[in-house]
Amino acid sequence: MSEIDISGLPGKIKSIMPANNEKNIKNDSSFDNILTKSLKEVNSAQMNANNAVNSLVAGKTENIHETMIQMQKASISFQMMMEVRNKLVDAYNEIIKMRG
């Protein structure tokens, strides 16, 4: 398994979130809230990509470039979410090993 540097993760998560959510993050920056908001953003990106594909297939739009961009955004955000999950599971396993 390759090592992945997640030292800049808070900044990266913050950079993919819309600007209107920055105020809420500063007021309530618990790990749970940041993670929940990030998961909602990933879900939103997935839904936007799905809507773009459906519009393209239905002939409502002919902008294949925007559709591909939406699909890539969704893919990258999902991959990042999975890497964060993997790091959290690894950290949890290390904590369990230390207790035993």
The tens digit of pLDDT for each residue in 11-64 reads 655 555 555 555 554 566 888 899 899 999 999 999 999 999 999 999 998 999
Residue 90 pLDDT exceeds 90 = yes
DSSP letter for 8, please.
T
Can you tell me whether residue 86 is helix, strand or coil?
A: helix
The contacts of residue 36 (CB under 8 Å, 6+ apart) are: none
- Residue 76: name the closest of 53, 44, 42 by CA: 42
Q: What is the pTM of this model?
A: 0.65
C-alpha span between 93 and 97 (Å, rounded) = 6
Cα 48 to chain centroid distance, Å, stands at 13
C-alpha count within 13 angstroms, C-beta hemisphere, residue 44: 9
- Residue 21: name the closest of 2, 36, 43 by CA: 36
